[in-house]
Amino acid sequence: MNILLVGSGGREHALAWKIAQSPRLTRLVAAPGNPGMAKLCETRAVGATDVAGLMALAREIAADLVVIGPEVSVAAGLADAAAEAGVACFGPTAAAGQLESSKAFTKAFCDRYGLPTGAYRVCETVEEARAALDEFAAPFVVKADGLAAGKGVVVAATREEAEAAVEDALGGRFGAAGARVVIEEFLDGEIGSLFALCDGETSMLFGWAQDHKRAFDGDQGPNTGGMGVYSPAPVFTPELVEQVRTRLVEPAFAGIAADGAPYRGVLFVELMATKDGPKLVEFNTRFGDPECQALMLRLDSDLAPYLMACATGRLSELPQPKWRDEAAICVVVAAKGYPGEPKPGGAIRGAEDDLGEDVVVFQAGTRRDADGTLRAAGGRVLNVCARGATLEAAREKAYGAIGKIDFADGFCRTDIGWRALARGPK
């Protein structure tokens, strides 16, 4: 099987790492990839939103399958172009991708099909937003409508902060993505990330994890794309998983098909486990980043057949995926300043060394100098992942590995997994 994998983050490095282990693989090409991925497969300098360039590359390598990593490729219509060219593609069409690319679309979708989520208002002007804020109590949740790399969500403790977030978004901080804002009810509970595959008709759960959205220890600081995850996460009791499947996953796939855009790919359900059951925080139309990194460490099954089956309508032929009975953790090391203005160019040493058994470092925002030096080139830079018999064991390995990496301009949270550890041993 020849596979074109699109993207350049830690999520795509993890997907490349897992796909590269497939006995079915003939050739794996990543576009644009990153320096870590370049050690696993061929990389080509074609951007994730260059749909024409990606389709030309797919033809050149006789790709049997295009695998979409990031949401920007979904929104750019890569799956639509692949369908037109008759190339199998793991990833939804731009129409189905609105479940991520427009928060206003998703809220209306939830209303239409009865999916549980928080109350909300969609606003196009600061005046409308001020009136909407009057209907909610602190903490206020303000979201840019469109794609903002996980940085378009502000949970504001005060009305002043909420108004500043509204003015920021509507004032152009996120470009067209902030042309509208969604003001929504703050959902109280424990956060969770659940993944489900769909081939347009058949769906299948595909793992779950818990993310840490805030930049700093103790869940302090601004929201980020995710500072670390672990899987499995005890918040996902069998009862919660079943509720998410029946109340969110299946209605979402049925609804989007009824809208004329059957879903092919992975749906990421970010949910709040509230006292009234799971409520949707948001859908994402791709694997989570860094959730994917921890899931790939735990996935025992070959990934490639699942990706291909989603793309070709054959998911019903596959068994449930097998997961290792171990814990996996991913700790994000970000450049200082992230998620605001990450400091670029910091030298990184030791990240590509052997850092211990069951420790894998996926690269995200990195670049390599001509002399081989690895440097920071983005906000989230490294994903230090480890697997262990327990979460404690995995965590010890991951933080031990971070201690061996020399990246003076980086920082990480030191408390990834705190909720599970606070519950005590299983």
- Where do contacts with ligand GLY occur on this chain (CB under 6 A)? 150, 211, 225-226, 284, 288-289, 291
CA distance 406 to 373: 12
Q: CB under 8 Å to 96, separation ≥6 — which residues?
A: 256, 261, 262, 263, 264, 285
Which is nearer to ligand GLY, 1 or 15 (by Cβ)?
15
- Structure tokens of 211? 């993310």
CA distance 227 to 70: 17
Residue nearest to ligand GLY (CB): 226
- Quote the least distance from Cβ 176 to ligand GLY, whole Å: 19
Which is nearer to ligand GLY, 118 or 226 (by Cβ)?
226
Sheet holding 374-376, edge to edge: 347-348, 374-376, 366-368
Which is nearer to ligand GLY, 220 or 320 (by Cβ)?
220
Local structure of 313: helix, strand or coil: coil
- Quote the least distance from Cβ 84 to ligand GLY, whole Å: 28
- Quote the least distance from Cβ 213 to ligand GLY, whole Å: 7
- Cβ(1)–Cβ(304) below 8 Å: yes
Which is nearer to ligand GLY, 199 or 291 (by Cβ)?
291
Residues in the chain: 426
Which is nearer to ligand GLY, 284 or 366 (by Cβ)?
284
- Quote the least distance from Cβ 381 to ligand GLY, whole Å: 15
Which is nearer to ligand GLY, 43 or 293 (by Cβ)?
293
Q: CB under 8 Å to 234, separation ≥6 — which residues?
A: 419, 420, 423, 426
- Cβ(199)–Cβ(309) below 8 Å: yes
- Quote the least distance from Cβ 293 to ligand GLY, whole Å: 10
- Quote the least distance from Cβ 191 to ligand GLY, whole Å: 10
Q: How many CB atoms lie within 10 A of CB 246?
A: 11
Which is nearer to ligand GLY, 43 or 224 (by Cβ)?
224
Report the chain's C-alpha Rg in angstroms. 20
- Quote the least distance from Cβ 192 to ligand GLY, whole Å: 11
Least Cα distance to 198 among 71, 309, 97 occurs for 309
Enclosing H/E stretch for 101 = helix 98-101
